[in-house]
Structure 1
Amino acid sequence: MAVVKAIAEVIDTDALQAMAHPMRLRILAALREPDSAAAVARGLGQPRQKVNYHVKELERAGLARRVGERRAGNLVESLYQATAATYVVSPRLAWVDRPRIDALAEQVALENLVSVGERLQQAAALLLDRAAFDGEKIASAAVETEVRFADAAQRKAFLAEYVSAIGPLLKKYGDSQGDSYRVVLAVHPDSKETS
């Protein structure tokens, strides 16, 4: 059988359009393991022809692929599988306008903030799958707070003091043995406020 990625980022409009149909999302969920369109149809309580059509559309968009065959009586059924266990839609898919593209290219810190957000979204989706499908208890935490800076100098001082304060912690635990955890600090203007 084909190797399935744990997660795939949807960055293509054809794939997004293919996923937009609720039936196709259910089919992708059913195709986490290889199966035929007929078996998926039975499981979903839908007509085989309808499910087969949607499977072909998912295959056309690169979200599912044919991975083999099996005999079912006198018939040979094609087996399909989702190309990933879970899919995350990239927000960049909607950012096709020149001003956003230019802003990301010109502002390295902002582009990094967007990239960190995407990686965090992907990590959360993978952890959710481990909890949902493997029954794993996920040791996780999220801390969010609001701070206010009078000016750029105060913001710079905060970041310097923050890095100085966590530096010893990072050094102490960064080289330790054991399970690896990712720690993220993101500093950005509150998106609800206007400047």
Structure 2
Amino acid sequence: MKRFWFVLIVLFIMNGCSDKEEVNGEMADALNDLERKVSALEQKLTDQQVKIDDQKETIDEQAELIEKQEQRLKQEEDIKKNDHRRLDEKIHRVYDLVSQTTASETAILNSSEVKDGYIELVVTYADMVEDENAPNGFRLEEKNEETVLVDVSTPVYLGSIDPHRMLDIQGFKSKKGAFLEFFKKDGEIVFVQERYLP
């Protein structure tokens, strides 16, 4: 009987050990599967971090390029402003010189038409007369209407909506109603400037 109990206990122990081994084997397989999944996730995370770092580097490079472009545009704008200021100064000097040495007349532009080698302007001559009762302290006293021919090589200064741009003789097309000053030498117009009315 001792032998019987001994065999029974051994069989029971062996059976219990084999069940544990099966459970341990399944657990080991599950752990290995989880480790593979964790490794795959870690690899994905590493790959994503590399992509994020690349994107960050690209964004930083783009931001640096944008900043350099903004600086260059600001420098170009400053240069244009200085060029415009110098151009205005030169025009005012020419205007002063011409006005001191040449007679001038003022007129309102009614219409213009570019012809071969010259531009035909239909104008109404007018004088600015001081008048304290007028809104701007002066009034225009209109005289006669006349057709004036201006050679295309005549220096012309017409203002434009963009203060950094001077219109050429073709600009007369958009200046109907503008107040112009004609400088004449020996009856011929040698310089035209748009005058702004305050």
TM-score (norm 1): 0.18
The structure that has the greater radius of gyration is 2
For normalisation by structure 2, the TM-score amounts to 0.18
Q: Which has the higher contact order (CA 8 A, sep 6+)?
A: 1
